[in-house]
Structure 1
Amino acid sequence: MISSLGDLRRTHYSKEVNPDLNGEEVLIMGWTHEIRDLGGIIFVLLRDRDGIVQVTAPSKKIEKELFEDLRKIKKESIIAVRGNVQESPKAPNGVEVLPTSLIVLNESKQPLPLDPTEKVRAEIDTRLDSRFLDLRKPAVSSIFKIKSRMLHSVRVFLEENGYLEVNTPKLVASATEGGTELFPITYFEREAFLGQSPQLYKQTMMSAGFDKVYEIAPIFRAEEHDTLRHLNEVISIDMESSFMSHEDVMDVLEKMVVQSISDVKKHCAADLEVLDIDLEIPEIPFKRLDYDDVIDMVNAQGVPLEHGEDLSRAAEKALGEMMEGYYFITGWPTEIKPFYVMADEETPEKSYAFDLMYKDLEISSGAMREHRYDILVEKIKSKGLNPESFERYLAAFDYGMPPHAGWGVGAERFNMTITGLNNIRETVLFPRDRRRLTP
C-alpha cells in the first residue's frame, strides 16, 4: 500500500469514468460506500460528489498485498485508487476500475451512527444529529444540488431582467411588520433583533432610485410552530420594483418559477432520477383565485372559515385537494395584511396583496405597497403601532417615493415543490426549529 498522497492528483470524478476511457489509467478519490468480499474477488464502491464508481479487484490479477489492503478498508473511509478502466455493462456507468495502487487517506471510525447506503433507514432526528453522514447519501445530496441550481437560476433570471442584488442588515432595531415574532439579542448596551424580513429596506431602495432590487438571504421568525413546513431560519428570495403594480410583479414571479424549474429539469437530470422525480414544467399564466371565492370553496368542503380570517391549515389542505400545481390567491382583506400593503382603490376593504400557492403550500406572498406618506402613517396607527418607531423608514416616503410592488419567496418551500419533499427540514443543511440549535 502506498503510504502518502505525495504528488497524486485526482484525474476524474465518478461520472467522468465512462466507456470512453476504456483502457486508460485514472486516479479516483472519495468515500468507501460499500465493500463486497467474495473471497477470490473484492468489489469496492467508491463514492464522490458526483456518484459511484466500482473498483473490481480479482485476486489473480492484482498484487497480493494490494488485494489484502483492499480487504481491510472500512466503510466510509477516504481512499484514493489508481487503476485502469475497463468496460463492464453491469457496473455503474458501464465501467469498472482494476486497481494498481491504493491509498487510505483517512480511516472512518466504526460503527457508523447511520447507514449512508440506506439499507437501514434512520429517523429524521438521528439523521440531523449526524448530518455530515446523512448528506453523503445520494438521495440527500441531490436535494441540495437541485436547490443550488434553483437559486442559481433565480439569480440569472432576475439579473437578466434588470434587477440589482442588494444586501440588507440582519440586525435591526425594530420589527419589520410590527409583530412580536422576533428574536431579541443584546447589541452592546441596547436591545436589537434578528431581521424577520428585508421589506422596509427594499422599499427604502425604491426611494433611493434603484428601481429594481433583489436579495437572497436568511430571515428569522420566532414562531412557535412545530410543523413540517415551518422553520425559524430560512432563506428568502426577495424582490422589489418601482413603477410596477402587483399584477406586474406577479407576472415576474411566475416567469421566474417556470424558468427555475426548466433550468433544474435541464441541468439536474441525474439528481431528479435519484429522487425518482419526473419534473413537469408549469404553464403560465398561473390560475388566479380571489380570496372571496377561496372562502366559498373551503366552506363547501366542510371547513368553516369566515371572511376576514387567514387560511387555517385545514383550509389550506382542503384547497390543496381541489387545486393542482401553482396558483395565486388575490384580493386579500386589507385588515389582515401588514401596514405597508396598499388597499384596493375601488374596494378599500380588499388589498392589492397576493399569495403564490403550490397545492396546499404557500411559497410566496407579495403586494403593491402603500407609497403615500400620510396614508402610510395612518395605516401604521391603525395597526396599533407608533409611527415614531418607524421614523427612519417613513423618511424615505416623505422625499419622493415612487409606486412600487414586490414579493418574497421561501427558497426551502420552493425547493419542496420541486423535489416533492414533505418536511422542510430536509431542504436545509442544518435546520433551526424550536428544539434544534445544533449541529
Structure 2
Amino acid sequence: MEIKKTHNIGTLGPAMKGQKVVVGGWVEDLRELGKLSFITLRDVTGVSQIVVAGSENLSQVKDLTKQSVVLVTGAVQESKARDFSFEIKAEKIEILSRAVHPLPIDPLGRLESGIDNRLNARALDLRNQKTASIFKIRHHVLLCIRKMLSESGFLEVNTPKIIGSASEGGANLFSLKYFDKQAYLAQSPQLYKEQLTLGLERIFEISSFYRAEKSHTVRHLTEFTSVDIESAFMDYTDVMEILEQLVVSVFDHVEKNCTEDIKNLGIEIKKPQAPFERVTYKQAIEELGKQGLSLAFGDDLLDSHLRTLGEIHPGFYFLTDWPLKLKPFYIHEKEDDPVVSKSFDLQYGYLELSSGGRRLHDPAKIKARLEEQGLDSAQFEDHLKAFDWGMPPHSGWGLGLDRLMAVLTQIDNVREVVLYPRDPERLFP
C-alpha cells in the first residue's frame, strides 16, 4: 500500500490548478450530495475539501467515520465553496485507518470536554486546532530560546536526572532504587551547571526535572520543563538582563512567526517592554505594609502576599535582593549588606517564573552556609571538590518553561500547555 504524500495540504493553493497531488490526513467532516461526496480533510499544516465522485470512490467513503485517516490522489481545482479557495477532485482514495466511534472526546470542540477527559485522550485532543496551536507555539518558543542563548555564547548541555544525593538539600525529591543503591530524581541541574562553568564558562540546559510536592494548583507539576543557564564572570544583574532579553525575544518571535496559531487561540500577544521593573524585597514589604499586610524583614512572602504585589505590579517584574536566610546555601551575599543576597525572582504578577542569583565560589563560605542551614557538607563532597580546582565567580537562573507558556498563551492552567502533564493524581497516559 502506498502511504507517501507528495504535498502537505498547507502548501497547496489555487495557483496549482490541474496539478496531480497525493495528500493524507484525517477526515473532519463527510457529507453526501447526490452523486458526489465532500470530505473535509486536514493534516497538521492545513485543511482542504476533497470532491469524491464515481461509484468505486463513493463506495469507499460510504461508511467512512470522522477522524479516520485516508490518502487521496487527485487534481487541484478551483472551489465554489465559501470556505475553500481550492479543492481536490479525488481520483483514488485509500483508507489507511478507521476511527472507532464513539470517540472519547470530540476533537473539533463542537462538544466541549473537560480538561481531564482531554488529557486522557491527549493524542486525539491534538487534532483540535486550538490545542495543536499551543504546542506549535511551544516549538517556536524552544527554537527561539536555543537560538538566543547560543548566539549569546552559551553551550547547550545535558546533566543527569538520576542522582546519588539530595543535591540541594531539599526534602521534595522522588527516591528510587538504583540497583543496590539509593538514588533520586533531580529537582534541578543546579550543582552540575555550576561545576560546568569551570571549563565551559557559559552553559544552558532545557530539560525535565522533578519535585515530589503534593501541590494541587493550576501552576504546579511534579514533572516540569526548566530552562537553566549558568555563566562564569557574570554577576546577578548580568544574568537578569539575559533573562529579560530572552523573554522579550520569545514574545517577539511568536508574534512574528505564529500568526495563525495566535488566531486559533483567540489571543493578542502582549509583548513586554524592557527593562522590566525591579522591586527589591525591602520595597515589596513596604508596599505590602501599605496594604495592611505587616511583614518584618526576613519573613517569607506567601502566595497571598505575591497576589497583592501582583495587583500592584501586574506585568513582568524582578523581585530582587532577598534576605540571605531565605535563599539556598549557594547564593552569594551582598558585599555591602551581608544579610541581603544577590538574588532575584522573575514574576508575572503573582506568578513566579524564574529564580536566580550570584553563586558562592569560595568553598569555605559554602561549607559555612551549609552548616548554617543544617545541611551535612559530607553529602556535597563531590560538588565541593570542584571548587578547589579554580572555580570562577558565576551566576545563573532557572526558568519554568511551562509557566512561561501559560503566560504567553494566556491560559490559566499549566496542564493545558504540557503534552502529558504529571501531578500528584496523574500518572497516565
TM-score, scaled to structure 2 = 0.96
CA distance in 2, matches of 1:131, 1:117: 13
Q: Is the 8 A contact 2:175 2:185 kept in 1?
A: yes
Q: Is the 8 A contact 2:222 2:422 kept in 1?
A: yes
Query: What is the deviation of 1:29?
Result: 0.3
CA distance in 2, matches of 1:130, 1:123: 11
Q: Is residue 202 from structure 1 mapped to residue 193 from structure 2 by the alignment?
A: yes
Q: Is residue 355 from structure 1 mapped to residue 345 from structure 2 by the alignment?
A: yes
CA distance in 1, matches of 2:15, 2:295: 62
The amino acid that maps onto 1:37 is E
Q: Is the 8 A contact 2:50 2:88 kept in 1?
A: yes
CA 45–334 in structure 1, closer or farther in 2 if over 3 Å, else same: same
Among residues 100, 117, 124, which one is paired with 2:115 in the alignment? Answer: 124
CA distance in 1, matches of 2:82, 2:318: 47
Q: Is the 8 A contact 1:54 1:91 kept in 2?
A: no
CA distance in 2, matches of 1:25, 1:88: 16
Among residues 89, 92, 95, which one is paired with 2:86 in the alignment? Answer: 95
Q: Is the 8 A contact 1:51 1:138 kept in 2?
A: no
CA 69–204 in structure 1, closer or farther in 2 if over 3 Å, else same: same
Identity value in percent: 41
The amino acid that maps onto 1:81 is V
CA 193–265 in structure 1, closer or farther in 2 if over 3 Å, else same: same
Q: Is residue 44 from structure 1 mapped to residue 35 from structure 2 by the alignment?
A: no
Among residues 384, 405, 408, which one is paired with 2:395 in the alignment? Answer: 405
Q: Is the 8 A contact 1:18 1:93 kept in 2?
A: no
CA distance in 1, matches of 2:380, 2:280: 32
CA distance in 1, matches of 2:274, 2:96: 51
SS in 2 for 1:414: helix
Query: What is the deviation of 1:345?
Result: 1.2
The amino acid that maps onto 1:385 is L
CA 89–159 in structure 1, closer or farther in 2 if over 3 Å, else same: farther
Query: What is the deviation of 1:148?
Result: 1.0
Q: Is the 8 A contact 2:167 2:380 kept in 1?
A: no
Among residues 311, 328, 340, which one is paired with 2:301 in the alignment? Answer: 311
SS in 2 for 1:284: coil
Among residues 9, 30, 50, which one is paired with 2:25 in the alignment? Answer: 30
The amino acid that maps onto 2:152 is N
Q: Is the 8 A contact 2:207 2:226 kept in 1?
A: yes
Q: Is the 8 A contact 1:331 1:353 kept in 2?
A: yes
Other-structure match for 1:394: 384
Output one character per residue of 1:254-289: Cα deviation in whole Å (capped at 9) or x when no partner: 111111222222221111111112213222111111
Q: Is the 8 A contact 1:86 1:98 kept in 2?
A: yes
CA 186–159 in structure 1, closer or farther in 2 if over 3 Å, else same: same
Q: Is residue 178 from structure 1 mapped to residue 173 from structure 2 by the alignment?
A: no
**Correspondence list, 1:348-387, <5 A:** 348-387=338-377
Query: What is the deviation of 1:14?
Result: 1.8
Other-structure match for 2:420: 430
The amino acid that maps onto 1:159 is S
The amino acid that maps onto 1:101 is K
Q: Is the 8 A contact 2:315 2:349 kept in 1?
A: yes
Query: What is the deviation of 1:176?
Result: 2.3
Other-structure match for 2:283: 293
Q: Is residue 149 from structure 1 mapped to residue 140 from structure 2 by the alignment?
A: yes
CA distance in 1, matches of 2:208, 2:83: 38
SS in 1 for 2:173: coil
Query: What is the deviation of 1:224?
Result: 1.1
Q: Is the 8 A contact 1:237 1:409 kept in 2?
A: yes
CA distance in 1, matches of 2:253, 2:426: 33
CA distance in 1, matches of 2:266, 2:191: 41
CA distance in 1, matches of 2:391, 2:397: 18
The amino acid that maps onto 1:331 is D
SS in 1 for 2:339: coil
Other-structure match for 1:165: 156
CA distance in 2, matches of 1:314, 1:382: 29
The amino acid that maps onto 2:236 is H
Query: What is the deviation of 1:368?
Result: 0.3
Other-structure match for 2:259: 269
SS in 1 for 2:407: helix
Unaligned runs of 5+ in 2: none
CA distance in 2, matches of 1:162, 1:65: 61
CA distance in 1, matches of 2:78, 2:404: 40
CA distance in 2, matches of 1:303, 1:47: 55
Unaligned runs of 5+ in 1: none
The amino acid that maps onto 1:239 is I
Query: What is the deviation of 1:55?
Result: 1.6
Query: What is the deviation of 1:305?
Result: 4.7
Q: How many residues were matched structurally?
A: 429
SS in 1 for 2:89: strand
